[in-house]
Amino acid sequence: MNRKYRRPLIAGNWKMNKTPSETREFVTGFKAMLPKLRRCDIALCVPAVCIPAAVKGARDSRIAIGAQTCSAFASGAYTGEISAAMLKDAGCKYVILGHSERRAMGETDKNIHAKLLTALDSGLTPILCCGESPEQRELGVTEPWITMQLRAALAGIPPEKLRTVVVAYEPIWAIGTGQTATPDQAESVCAHIRAVLRKQYGAKTARAVVILYGGSMNGNNAAQLLAQPDIDGGLIGGASLDPQKLLCIVEAASCEAE
Ligand code: 13P
């Protein structure tokens, strides 16, 4: 983390877990546990139906609420979809875009680009995910792959908008596997992400962008990962479902710079 230019962010991605009632219970408990000092930003990206309960529960706290995807369209005949403007109006600050689990369900770089545009237009902060498969890592094509994913998603985004985008590096082989990337592996790709942004947008803009690592992050490995200069926080799956486990990561992010 480099606190001079960026504020750390710990974001939970609940995926398809928890009901609205469980959300209420979680947020009430988690809110009460949080340290007083606001040394990092905190977000919970919850299932769409849980957003109202999460927003209500997190009121007057430092917890921001996010969604896990949004429609690529602003409005219209798209049965089952939820627009970025609806999420914003419901009280969301963030939206995860391009998660590998959604890419595996058929989401393309083109879809993700369209979603990013509508999210930014609606005033949401996108958490743009990228990451390589185990095969791609094995083949040694991680960096060109990530470059391609970033360029495709960010095509035409001006620098003032890019500053509000959060990028999450999530190696697919580390998601839900317990096989965390080593701090060196994670830093090397996060530094590459910043280099790609620097080339396109210049140093000043690139150093303002918050870059997260995601993939089996937990209370035991968070401090080491967050000590890396280009890792500004975490996107947490499994460990974000338990308030105590998530708190451990928030604490790691809060004391790293002491
Ligand atoms: P895990 O923390 O469960 O590996 O999930 C990471 C993730 O996919 C967050 O978006």
Where residue 159 sits, what CATH number does that domain have?
3.20.20.70
CA of 236 to the centre of ligand 1 (A): 5
CA of 194 to the centre of ligand 1 (A): 21
For residue 4, being part of any structural domain is answered with no
Is the pTM higher than 0.95? yes
Q: What is the pLDDT of residues 24-49, one digit of tens each?
A: 999 999 999 998 778 899 999 999 99
Total tally of structural domains belonging to the chain:
1
Residue nearest atom 7 in ligand 1 by C-alpha distance:
237
Check if 170 is active-site. Answer: yes
Residue nearest atom 1 in ligand 1 by C-alpha distance:
237
pLDDT for 35: 82
CA of 246 to the centre of ligand 1 (A): 12
CA of 202 to the centre of ligand 1 (A): 30
pLDDT for 88: 98
pLDDT for 256: 47
pLDDT band, very low/low/confident/very high, at 122 (cuts 50, 70, 90): very high
Distances (CA, A) of 106 to 22, 45, 55, 99, 109: 29, 21, 29, 11, 10
Structural domain span for residue 198 = 9-257
Alpha-carbon distance of 112 to 125, in angstroms, equals: 14
Residue 258 has pLDDT above 50, yes or no: no
For residue 3, being part of any structural domain is answered with no
For residue 1, being part of any structural domain is answered with no
Atom of ligand 1 nearest to the CA of 218: 2
Residue nearest atom 9 in ligand 1 by C-alpha distance:
237
Sign for the CA dihedral angle at 111, 113, 119, 121 comes to negative
Atom of ligand 1 nearest to the CA of 240: 2
Average pLDDT of the residues of the chain: 96
Q: What is the pLDDT of residues 181-218, one digit of tens each?
A: 999 999 999 999 999 999 999 999 999 999 999 999 99
Atom of ligand 1 nearest to the CA of 216: 4
Of 99, 101, 113, 187, catalytic: 99
For residue 197, being part of any structural domain is answered with yes
Question: Of the residues 17, 95, 212, 216, which should be mutated to test ligand 1's pocket, given the most ligand atoms within 8 Å of the CB?
Answer: 216
Of 101, 107, 132, 170, catalytic: 170
pLDDT for 12: 98
Q: What is the pLDDT of residues 81-97, one digit of tens each?
A: 999 999 999 999 999 99
Cβ partners under 8 Å of residue 180, min gap 6: 174, 215, 216, 217, 218, 221, 225
Residue 257 has pLDDT above 80, yes or no: no
**Range 158-167 average pLDDT:** 96
For residue 246, being part of any structural domain is answered with yes
For residue 68, being part of any structural domain is answered with yes
Apex 74 CA angle, 71 and 75, nearest 5: 95
For residue 173, being part of any structural domain is answered with yes
Distances (CA, A) of 117 to 193, 241, 244: 20, 30, 35
